[in-house]
Amino acid sequence: MRIGRMDLRVVGSVGSTNSEAADMDVWSALLAREQLEGRGRLDHLWDSQPGGLYLSCVLPPTDPPTLYQFWAAVVVKRALSDLGVEVSVRWPNDILVDDMKIAGILSEHKGDRVIVGIGINVNNHVEDRPFPATSLIERTGKVSDVEGIARRMIEIVQDVPPAGDVMEKWRSASITEGKRVSVTTLTGVISGTAVGIRDDGALLVETESGVEPVTEGECRFT
């Protein structure tokens, strides 16, 4: 189905919509009802039971390349706000309600395209998982129309350009700044106080040896 300039395909079960979308054209999107091998960042798994939203959009690249994961959080925030659920964001890609993750974003560059993967817990129950998570059904007490939310997000995607004041919008929803954080990167753990997020998406952590920009990692509040 076509929504503006985006072509949306809806399928049943896939491994990962981001992996499937790697061969798709720019301005196409894939929505799956469940994923058997849903992926997070840094080789994490994304719990992808039926009832959740698993969407990948293939888009042209941005400058800086990291912008998409912040932009996608702004898109998800707006879509969930339309449904009466207000979220906050934690660097780099966590979308939270009361410190529990309701959605996550995986943005991957493939040549001249970016695959922006969005997972939202909608009607799937995630409250008994080993990680702190929540879902729309738990928040609203109602079953939501997953495909309708995906269509709405694709409209918002075309409404909010991935440029300009995206980082401002992201910062205004952020609960990261001012917190004591511990960021696990591929090379070690950086602990200190989060003092800001740069326009290229780097988290600025004030440590004992000064302010360090961190470009990738898993951030926990301590």
Q: Which of 2, 5, 44, 198 binds ligand BT5 (CB under 6 A)?
A: 44
| Cβ neighbours of 41 (radius 10 Å) | 17
Longest Cα–Cα distance of the chain, Å, equals 54
Q: Which residue is at the shortest CB distance from ligand BT5?
A: 104
Asked if 11 touches ligand BT5 (CB under 6 A), the answer is: no
CB of 45: closest distance to ligand BT5 in angstroms?
A: 6
CB of 24: closest distance to ligand BT5 in angstroms?
A: 13
Asked if 133 touches ligand BT5 (CB under 6 A), the answer is: yes
Stretch that binds ligand BT5, among 50-58, 156-164, 171-179, 197-205 (CB under 6 A): 50-58
- 3-state SS class at 10: strand
- What's the burial of 140, exposed, middle or buried (CB within 10 Å: 0-12/13-18/19+)? middle
- Cis previous bond, 132, omega within 30: no
Residues 85-104 that bind ligand BT5 (CB under 6 A): 93, 101, 104
Strands 113-120 and 180-185: unpaired
**DSSP label of 216:** S
Q: Which of 33, 46, 97, 114 binds ligand BT5 (CB under 6 A)?
A: 46
Asked if 106 touches ligand BT5 (CB under 6 A), the answer is: yes
Strand residue runs (E) in the chain: 2-3, 6-14, 28-35, 53-59, 88-90, 94-97, 100-110, 113-120, 180-185, 188-197, 203-207, 210-214, 218-221
Stretch that binds ligand BT5, among 12-20, 159-167, 192-200, 206-214 (CB under 6 A): 12-20
x/- mask, ligand BT5, residues 16-35, rule CB under 6 A, reads: xxx----------------x
89: left (phi over 0), alpha (psi -120 to 50) or beta: beta
Stretch that binds ligand BT5, among 57-65, 119-127, 172-180, 199-207 (CB under 6 A): 119-127
CB of 46: closest distance to ligand BT5 in angstroms?
A: 4
- 3-state SS class at 175: coil
Alpha-carbon distance of 123 to 140, in angstroms, equals: 10
Asked if 54 touches ligand BT5 (CB under 6 A), the answer is: yes
Of the two residues 43 and 208, which places its CB atom closer to ligand BT5 in the complex? 43
State the residues that interact with ligand BT5 by CB under 6 A. Answer: 16-18, 35, 38-42, 44, 46-47, 54-56, 93, 101, 104-106, 117-119, 121, 126, 131, 133
